[in-house]
C-alpha cells in the first residue's frame, strides 16, 4: 500500500473544502497582523555584540556600571555671550537639572560663575572679564565660537535606551515652551538623540522599502507575467507571506535592526518566484485538465520541487548563524522564516483562490486583445530558442568558457581581500538626517576625540598593590603609546584627595574614597572590585584604532596586574573596531559553510557526487564575481554586505539546480548530453529569466533606501542576481558538459558501459 505524502492530503483538503481553507488562511493572517503590531526597532550595542559571550557580558557590565551617555544641547546665536543669551543658558541648565536621571549639567554659565566669585555676571563687561580669567583650552570646549555654545547633560550610567528617549522627549517639550531670544536656535543632539532619530528613520525606511518593492513587483509581474490570468495574485501572495513573517517575528519577540530591514525586499524578490512557479504550473495544468486535477498536480508535483529549491536557498541563509554579529544572525533567521512563509502562502493560496475563482486559463489569443497572446507566445518561443542555442554552443566548448570565467572569478577573489570594511554607524544612516548633521557640527566645534576603556576587576583592586598597578599602567601607556593623549581613573582622584600621593595602606584608601564625591566615584568604580580606566586618544582611522587596541592588549601581557586582578579592553571603541575583524573573518567562513551545506543537501537528495557538485561550481564562480563588482563600484564591506556570499549562494542555487535537474531528466530519456542541455535550457529559459528578473525588481527596492548601508547592499545584490541569472544559463551548461565528459572518460577507462 502506497503511503500518501502530506502534499496528497493537502490537495484533497483544498479540493474538498476550499472555503474552509480560505477562512483558515484569513484567520492566520489576522493572528499574524496582531503579532506584527508588537514589532519594535532595535539599535545600539545588542545588535553588534552577542551579550551571552564573555566579551559581550563584559561590555554590558561596563555600560551598565560606568558608561554615562551625554545629551548635548547646541545653542546658536549672533553672540552666545551676550547677557540675554547667558540668561537663557542659565534657565536651560536649571530646567535640565530638574529632569530625572540627570547627574550633571555643564555649560559656560558654570565656568562664568566659578570665574566671577560664585555669581552669574550681569553685564557684557563682566561676562568678558570673567571669560578672560578662564583658560582658553577649557572655555573653547564649551564655547567653540562667538556664535555657538554647548551644554552637556550627563546621564546616569547604564540608563536604558527607553529612559533616554523619554528624557529627550521631555527636554524637547521644555524647549518648545521656553521663549528663546530672536535669532537664537536651541537643538538637542548627542548620541542618544542620534539613536532616537535613527530608530524613527528605520521605521520610515522600512515602510518605504516595502511599498517600493511591492510597486516594482506589480510592474515586473504586469510586464513579464502577462500570459496568465490573475497575474497580480503573485504580489498578493508575497504580501501574505510577509504578513506571516512579521507575525511570527512579533510573537517570538524578535526586533528589527538596520540589517534586518534589508531582508524584507530580499524576501519579496525570492518569494515572488515561488508564487510564479505555482501560478505557472496551475495555469499549465488547467489548460489540459479540470481544476480539481490541476490542484492535485500543482500541489503534489510543484510543491516538492519548490520545497527543494526553498531548502537549498535556506542553506545559504543558515550559514549566517555562525556570524558573531547578532543582527547578521537575525538577518539569516528572518530570511529563513520569510522563505518558509512565502512558500507556504504560495502552496496553499494559489490552488485555493483558483478553485474559488473558478480559474479559466487565458487563451493563446485573447479575444479582447487579439494580438497580445500571440505576440507574447512568439516572444517566449524566440527567447527559448535563443538561450537553447547559446547553451548548446557553450556546452560544446566547456573548457575555454570555464577557464575564462574562472579567471575573472579568481581576480575577484583576490580583489575581495583589498575591499575596505566600514563599521562606523554614522555612515550607515541617511546623510541628511538632522541628528547626524548636528552631531557632526558639535564634533567639528569641540574637536575630534575618542577614548578606549579598560575594565579592571578583582578583590584586591582597592589595595596598595592594586591602585599602584593602575597608576603605573596609566603612566606606562601615556609614555609608550603615542596615540594616547591622557588617561583617568579612580586612582587619579585618590591621589588628588590624598595630597597628591597614593595611600600606602587599605584603611587610608577607604578613608580617601569616602571623601571623594559620589558622582565622581560612580564614573570609575563600582563597589570595591570593579573599576575602569579611560584612555583618551586622538581621532584615528579604524585600522589605526585596531593597532592601538592590539598594542594595549600586548602591553597588558607584559605589564601584568597583580594576582587576583584582571584587566581587559572594552567599550564602544573596542566594539566597533573589533567589528572589522569579525566581519573580515566571518564573511569567508559563512560563505564556505554555505557551500558545504548546499553540497551536503544536494548529496543527500541526489546521492551522486557528480550531480551534487554540478550546481555548486557555477555558484563558486558567481561568488568570485561579487568581489570584483564591489571593488569596481567602490563599495565597502559592512555588516550587511558581509552576508552577500551566503545570499548569492542561496539565490543562485535555485537557478543552477533547476537547469541541472532538467538536463539530467532529458538525459534519462535517451538524449545525448548536448541535446539534453539544448532542450532543457530551451524549455525553461524564459521561466528562469522571468523568475530572475522579478527577483531583480524586488531587490531593486533596496537602492531607494535612505540608509547608505542598505542602498549599497541593494546595488551589489541587483548586479549579483543579474550575474547569477547569466551564470546559470551560461556557466551551468558548460559545467554539466564538462562533468559528463569526465564521467564518460572514467567509465570508458574502467570498461563500464554508458548508462544511456
* Per-residue pLDDT, 28: 94
CATH architecture of 69-155+159-189: 2-Layer Sandwich (3.30)
pLDDT band at 156, cuts 50/70/90? confident
The pLDDT score that the predictor gives to residue 348 is 93
Residue 372 pLDDT more than 50? no
**What mean pLDDT comes out for the span 739-751?**
72
- Residue 456: in which H helix or E strand, if any? strand 450-458
Q: What value does the mean pLDDT take over residues 76-91?
A: 88
In percent, the amount of the chain with pLDDT more than 70 equals 93
- Model confidence at 78, pLDDT cuts 50, 70, 90, reads confident
Res 338: pLDDT: 93
Please provide residue 106's backbone torsions phi and psi, each rounded to the nearest 5 degrees.
-125, 130
- Residues 290-318 have pLDDT tens digits of 888 888 988 988 888 788 888 888 888 89
**Whether the predicted pLDDT of 750 surpasses 70:** no
Give 607's contacts (C-beta < 8 A, 6+ positions apart): none
Average pLDDT over residues 93-99: 88
Q: What is the pLDDT of residue 468?
A: 92
> Residue 519: how many CB atoms within 10 A of its CB?
12
CB–CB of 617/660 below 8 Å?
Answer: no
What fold, for 6-37+197-357+395-425+579-741? Multidrug efflux transporter AcrB transmembrane fold (1.20.1640)
CB < 8 Å & 24+ apart, contacts of 353-356: 353/22, 353/230, 353/233, 354/230, 354/282, 354/286, 354/291, 354/294, 354/295, 355/14, 355/15, 355/18, 355/291, 355/292, 355/295, 356/18, 356/19, 356/22
**Alpha helices, H only, 397-433:** 398-416
Q: How far apart are CA 487 and CA 471, in angstroms?
A: 10
Q: Average of pLDDT values for 94-121? A: 85
Residues 406, 348: Cα–Cα separation, whole Å: 42
- Regarding predicted confidence, which is higher, 42 or 37? 37
Asked whether the predicted pLDDT for residue 190 surpasses 50, the reply is: yes
- Please, which pLDDT band fits residue 375 given cuts at 50, 70 and 90? low
Of 77 and 266, the structure prediction assigns the larger pLDDT to 77
DSSP 686: H
> Per-residue pLDDT for 203 more than 80?
no
Half-sphere exposure of 488 toward its Cβ, with a 13 Å CA cutoff?
10
* Mean pLDDT along residues 704-727: 81
345 — pLDDT class (breaks 50, 70, 90)? very high
Which pLDDT score, from 0 to 100, does residue 577 have?
80
Q: How far apart are the first and last CA of the chain?
A: 32
Over residues 682-702, mean pLDDT:
75
Residue 23 has pLDDT above 90, yes or no: yes
pLDDT, greater one: 235 or 692: 235
The reported pLDDT for the residue numbered 135 is 78
What is the pLDDT confidence band of residue 27, given thresholds at 50, 70 and 90?
very high
pLDDT at residue number 1: 41
Report whether pLDDT(711) > 80. Answer: yes
User: Where exactly does CATH 1.20.1640.10 map onto the chain?
Assistant: 6-37+197-357+395-425+579-741
pLDDT at site 754: 56
3 state DSSP class of 154: strand
Is residue 15 within 8 A of residue 355, CB to CB? The reply is yes
Q: How confident is residue 220, by pLDDT bands cut at 50, 70 and 90? A: confident
Per-residue pLDDT for 540 more than 70?
no
Say what the pLDDT of residue 241 is: 93
Sequence-distant (≥ 6) Cβ neighbours of residue 176 within 8 angstroms: none
Closest CA to 274 of 312, 240, 237, 246: 237
17 three-state secondary structure: coil
Distance CA 60, CA 496 (A): 30
Predicted pLDDT of residue 365: 39
Which of 348, 272, 353, 347 lies closest to 303 in space, CA to CA? 347
Confidence of residue 126 (pLDDT cuts 50, 70, 90): confident
Lowest-confidence pick of 78-87, 198-207, 363-372, 728-737 = 363-372
Residue 464 above 70 pLDDT?
yes
What's the average model confidence in pLDDT over 724-730? 81
- For 415-459, how does the pLDDT look when each residue is reduced to its tens digit (9 = 90+)? 888 888 887 777 777 777 777 777 777 776 665 557 888 899 988
Q: What percent of the chain has pLDDT over 90?
A: 9
CB neighbour list of residue 252: distance below 8 Å, 6 or more residues apart:
none
Q: Where in the chain is the domain with CATH 3.30.70?
A: 69-155+159-189
Q: Rounded mean pLDDT of 125-153?
A: 83
Give per-residue pLDDT as tens, 474-500: 999 888 888 888 888 999 989 988 888
pLDDT over 80 at 224, yes or no: no
- Mean confidence (pLDDT) of the chain: 82
| pLDDT at residue number 13 | 92
pLDDT at 370 over 50: no
| Inter-residue contact 211 to 268 (CB < 8 Å) | no
Whether 556 has a pLDDT exceeding 60, the answer reads yes
**Range from 12-26, 116-130, 197-211, 550-564 carrying the lowest mean pLDDT:** 197-211
Amino acid at each position: 500500500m502506497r503511503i500518501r505524502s502530506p502534499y496528497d492530503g493537502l490537495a484533497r483538503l483544498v479540493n474538498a473544502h476550499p472555503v474552509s481553507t480560505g477562512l483558515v488562511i484569513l484567520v492566520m493572517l489576522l493572528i499574524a497582523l496582531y503579532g506584527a503590531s508588537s514589532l519594535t526597532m532595535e539599535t545600539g550595542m545588542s545588535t553588534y555584540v552577542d551579550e551571552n559571550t564573555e566579551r559581550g557580558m563584559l561590555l554590558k557590565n561596563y555600560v551598565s556600571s560606568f558608561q554615562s551617555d551625554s545629551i548635548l544641547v547646541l545653542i546658536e546665536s549672533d553672540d552666545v555671550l551676550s547677557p540675554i543669551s547667558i540668561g537663557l543658558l542659565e534657565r536651560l541648565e536649571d530646567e535640565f537639572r530638574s529632569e530625572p536621571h540627570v547627574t550633571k549639567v555643564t555649560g559656560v554659565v558654570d565656568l562664568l560663575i566659578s570665574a566671577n566669585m560664585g555669581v552669574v555676571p550681569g553685564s557684557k563687561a563682566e561676562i568678558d572679564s570673567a571669560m578672560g580669567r578662564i583658560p582658553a583650552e577649557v572655555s573653547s570646549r564649551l564655547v567653540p565660537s562667538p556664535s555657538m555654545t554647548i551644554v552637556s547633560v550627563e546621564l546616569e550610567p547604564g540608563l536604558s535606551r527607553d529612559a533616554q528617549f523619554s528624557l529627550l522627549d521631555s527636554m524637547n517639550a521644555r524647549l518648545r515652551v521656553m521663549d528663546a531670544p530672536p535669532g537664537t536656535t536651541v537643538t538637542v543632539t548627542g548620541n542618544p538623540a542620534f539613536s532616537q532619530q535613527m530608530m524613527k528613520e528605520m521605521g520610515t525606511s522600512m515602510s518605504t522599502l516595502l511599498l517600493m518593492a511591492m510597486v516594482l513587483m506589480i510592474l515586473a509581474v504586469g510586464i513579464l507575467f502577462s500570459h496568465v490570468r490573475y497575474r497580480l495574485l503573485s504580489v498578493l501572495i508575497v504580501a501574505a507571506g510577509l504578513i506571516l513573517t512579521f507575525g511570527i517575528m512579533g510573537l517570538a519577540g524578535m526586533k528589527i535592526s538596520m540589517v534586518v530591514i534589508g531582508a524584507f525586499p530580499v524576501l519579496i524578490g525570492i518569494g515572488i518566484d515561488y508564487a510564479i512557479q505555482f501560478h505557472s504550473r496551475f495555469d499549465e495544468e488547467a489548460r489540459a485538465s479540470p481544476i480539481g486535477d490541476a490542484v492535485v498536480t500543482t500541489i503534489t508535483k510543484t510543491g516538492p520541487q519548490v520545497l527543494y529549491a526553498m531548502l537549498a536557498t535556506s542553506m545559504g541563509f543558515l550559514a549566517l548563524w555562525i556570524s558573531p554579529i547578532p543582527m547578521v544572525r537575525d538577518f539569516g533567521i528572518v530570511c529563513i522564516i520569510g522563505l518558509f512563509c512565502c512558500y507556504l502562502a504560495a502552496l496553499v493560496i494559489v490552488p485555493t483562490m483558483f478553485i474559488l475563482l473558478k480559474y479559466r486559463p487565458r487563451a493563446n489569443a485573447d479575444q479582447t486583445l487579439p494580438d497580445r497572446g500571440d505576440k507574447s507566445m512568439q516572444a517566449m518561443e524566440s527567447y527559448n530558442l535563443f538561450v537553447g542555442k547559446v547553451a548548446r554552443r557553450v556546452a560544446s566548448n566547456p573548457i575555454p568558457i570555464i577557464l575564462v570565467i574562472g579567471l575573472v572569478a579568481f581576480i575577484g577573489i583576490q580583489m575581495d581581500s583589498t575591499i575596505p570594511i566600514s563599521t562606523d554607524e554614522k555612515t550607515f544612516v541617511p546623510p541628511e538626517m538632522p541628528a547626524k548633521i548636528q552631531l557632526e557640527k558639535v564634533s567639528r566645534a569641540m574637536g575630534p576625540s575618542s577614548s578606549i576603556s579598560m575594565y579592571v576587576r578583582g578583590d584586591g583592586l582597592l589595595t596598595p598593590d592594586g591602585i599602584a598597578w593602575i597608576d603605573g599602567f596609566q603612566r606606562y601607556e601615556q609614555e609608550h603609546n603615542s596615540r594616547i593623549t591622557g588617561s583617568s581613573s579612580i586612582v587619579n582622584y585618590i591621589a588628588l584627595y590624598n595630597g597628591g600621593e597614593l595611600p600606602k595602606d587599605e584603611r587610608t584608601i577607604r578613608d580617601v574614597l569616602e571623601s571623594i564625591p559620589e558622582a565622581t566615584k560612580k564614573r570609575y568604580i563600582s563597589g570595591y572590585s570593579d573599576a575602569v580606566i579611560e584612555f583618551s586618544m586622538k581621532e584615528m582611522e579604524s585600522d589605526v584604532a585596531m593597532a592601538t587596541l592590539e598594542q594595549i592588549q600586548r602591553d597588558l601581557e607584559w605589564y601584568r596586574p597583580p594576582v587576583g586582578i584582571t584587566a581587559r579592553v572594552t567599550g564602544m571603541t573596542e566594539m566597533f573596531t573589533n567589528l572589522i575583524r569579525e566581519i573580515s573573518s566571518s564573511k569567508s567562513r559563512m560563505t564556505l559553510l554555505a557551500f558545504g551545506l548546499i553540497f551536503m543537501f544536494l548529496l543527500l537528495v541526489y546521492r551522486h557526487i557528480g550531480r551534487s557538485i554540478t550546481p555548486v561550481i557555477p555558484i563558486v564562480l558567481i561568488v568570485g564575481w561579487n568581489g570584483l563588482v564591489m571593488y569596481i563600484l567602490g563599495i565597502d564591506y559592512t555588516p550587511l554586505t558581509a552576508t552577500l556570499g551566503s545570499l548569492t549562494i542561496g539565490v543562485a542555487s535555485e537557478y543552477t539546480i533547476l537547469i541541472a535537474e532538467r538536463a539530467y531528466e532529458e538525459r534519462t530519456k535517451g538524449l545525448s548530453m548536448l541535446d539534453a542541455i539544448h532542450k532543457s535550457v530551451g524549455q525553461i529559459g524564459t521561466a528562469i529569466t522571468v523568475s530572475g528578473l522579478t527577483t531583480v525588481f524586488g531587490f531593486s527596492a533596496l537602492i531607494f533606501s535612505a540608509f547608505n548601508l542598505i542602498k549599497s547592499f541593494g546595488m551589489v545584490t541587483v548586479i549579483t542576481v543579474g550575474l547569477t541569472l547569466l551564470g546559470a544559463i551560461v556557466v551551468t551548461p558548460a559545467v554539466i558538459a564538462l562533468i559528463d565528459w569526465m564521467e564518460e572518460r572514467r567509465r570508458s577507462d574502467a570498461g563500464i558501459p554508458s548508462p544511456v
